[in-house]
Amino acid sequence: MKIEIQNLRKKFGSREVLKGLSLNIEPGAVSGLVGPNACGKTTLIKCILGLTIPTSGEILVGGKSIHREWDYRRKIGYMPQNPNFPPNLTFIDLLEMLEDLRNEDRSKSCEELVDIFGLRECLDKPFSTMSGGTKQKCAAVAAFMFDPDILILDEPSVGLDPVAALKLKELVLQSVNKGKSVLLVSHIMTEVEQLVQRMVFLLEGEAAFSGNVDQLREQTGEDKLENAIVKMMLSRKPERAFEIIGHHQRMGSQ
């Protein structure tokens, strides 16, 4: 299911966070959203999820505006960067709560997801007793459990062990093969290179680049994605280049 972002603007007081942003998130592909902190990524996600109302512009899901709508959210699976579950809630409580909220039974795939991430023994444990990585696995199950048409994954592999991160990547690729639309937000350049077909680089609320990864490499003459991004930034925002270089070198090494 296609998501269309059309001339989206968002202001918080006098500060404009999104500045006429336009992009499409296509079905059957992973669209990558990358950029430094405070570039507008989180605000864009919140606008798509209906948690923040844009100042102007429009968001279409499946060709229909989401303005004053809510049912479209049933088509979205969302995996936040830092899942903040109520500490006294257990994992099984979370799954049952999601069933009740959606008035929909857990699919067979939910049980498979629990086993894929090795969470069978965690079903009755409260989140207060879980490590950050285990909570992240629970968030992955919650995002994928209803087999949604759209997946929004915000730094999904942060905190995951290598085995769990690999399983998550396999789930993403399976979803793409089923025609799902995936929006991946990541600072980990190896992850972007492995999964993303089309990339948008946000800078100060604007798309500094939009296209596939190979186009960016060809445009900059750089083979490594992080080097291509740095070279592009040097030509567009040299005053922030050192900040961007340090940021991506740190995250790219993870």
**What's the CA gap between 10 and 21, in Å, rounded?**
10
pLDDT band for position 99 (50/70/90)?
A: confident
What's the average model confidence in pLDDT over 235-243?
Answer: 56
218 Rama sector, left if φ>0, alpha if ψ -120 to 50, beta otherwise = alpha
What's the average model confidence in pLDDT over 58-66?
Answer: 95
pLDDT at 196: 92
Q: To 5 degrees, how large is the angle CA 123–CA 180–CA 131?
A: 30
pTM of the model: 0.88
DSSP of 22-65: EEEE-TTEEEEEE--TTSSHHHHHHHHHTSS--SEEEEEETTEE
- What CATH number does the domain containing 175 carry? 3.40.50.300
- Which of 43, 54, 41 lies closest to 199 in space, CA to CA? 41
Q: Is the pLDDT of residue 249 over 90?
A: no
Helix (H, G, I), strand (E, B) or coil at 160: coil
**What's the CA gap between 222 and 210, in Å, rounded?**
16
- Segment among 120-124, 150-154, 162-166, 246-250 with least mean pLDDT: 246-250
Q: Is the pLDDT of residue 107 over 80?
A: no
Domain that holds residue 115: 3-252
- Which of 1, 5, 4, 62 lies closest to 29 in space, CA to CA? 1
Our count of domains for the chain comes to: 1
What's the average model confidence in pLDDT over 105-115?
Answer: 81
Q: To 5 degrees, how large is the angle CA 67–CA 68–CA 71?
A: 100
- Segment among 88-92, 104-108, 231-235 with least mean pLDDT: 104-108
What's the average model confidence in pLDDT over 18-31?
Answer: 94
Tell me the CA distances in angstroms from 254 to 54, 81, 179, 222, one per residue in order.
Answer: 33, 15, 29, 20
